[in-house]
């Protein structure tokens, strides 16, 4: 993964802004999410 800025659409403002990509290991993401949320967010719910 590259560590640059990516375009993100903000619905509240209706604008696209460039923000830095968040890069974490799978272990770091697992600490952030419940097991079900991790499965959907990181593994497409499979």
pLDDT in tens, 1-45: 556 899 999 999 999 999 999 889 999 999 999 999 999 988 876
Question: Would you state the structure tokens that stand for residue 36, as one six-digit string?
Answer: 């079900």
Question: Would you state the structure tokens that stand for residue 1, as one six-digit string?
Answer: 């993964």
What's residue 25's pLDDT? 93
What's residue 11's pLDDT? 96
What's residue 8's pLDDT? 95
d(CA 5, CA 40): 24
In the chain, domain spans: 5-43
Q: Is 35 helix (H, G, I), strand (E, B) or coil?
A: helix
What's residue 44's pLDDT? 73
What's residue 12's pLDDT? 96
DSSP 8-state symbol, 4? S
What's residue 4's pLDDT? 86
């Amino acid at each position: 993964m590259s560590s640059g800025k990516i375009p993100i659409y903000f619905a509240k403002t209706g604008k696209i802004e460039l923000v830095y990509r968040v890069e974490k290991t799978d272990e770091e993401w697992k600490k952030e999410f419940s097991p079900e949320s991790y499965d959907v967010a990181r593994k497409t719910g499979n």
